[in-house]
Structure 1
């Protein structure tokens, strides 16, 4: 711990004391090549810290594919499909991936969607008791 304490209290303060920081902007033009090389680690570290801070607070772009429903009844404020339970038959599959060309019925489009996105969505299957 003593080594770390010495490094922070003595070495770093000596480093900052020996930096050739000019008193004005014009002074930067008068720095020699050796003085610029002495400033390089400090300027690089400060630049890296500024870059990392900006990246942390920068708004992340929203991917275009965030919407579930890309094209079905987009003119409606909400997509609602009503089905009479008597019209279902023995078994029916409803789409949950919003990619079906026969929406609201499933046409298997979720398979391609799952392969492309790594998702695991599948249809909602309704069947009568005793039906296969």
Structure 2
């Protein structure tokens, strides 16, 4: 920096190429192993039960207890690499007068009444 001014590097708003490449690689890895990933998540959610050595059948005891919440967290962690997070947006609604608000409400109530009437006809 020269006297407080930026003189090098990428321009403001330019995407980071290394981050984009990493995301693409992780996304490809996830897509290529979707069957395994699904199986792993199911295993975490359902748990791993002990096998009776004598009979070879599953017992009611668990080696790893079921943890659906952990499976969901793991799924969401994987999703972050394939689907970008949405930024928060603020919705600014224009002010409407009471007459227009009443008209909009009436349209809504008419739709509800029509749906109720159709449902009654089906019964």
Task: Say whether the fold is shared (TM-score over 0.5).
Answer: no
Q: Which has the larger radius of gyration?
A: 1
Q: TM-score, normalised by structure 1?
A: 0.21
- The structure with the largest helix share of the pair is 2
Q: Tell me which of the two structures has the higher relative contact order, counting C-alpha pairs closer than 8 angstroms and 6 or more residues apart.
A: 2
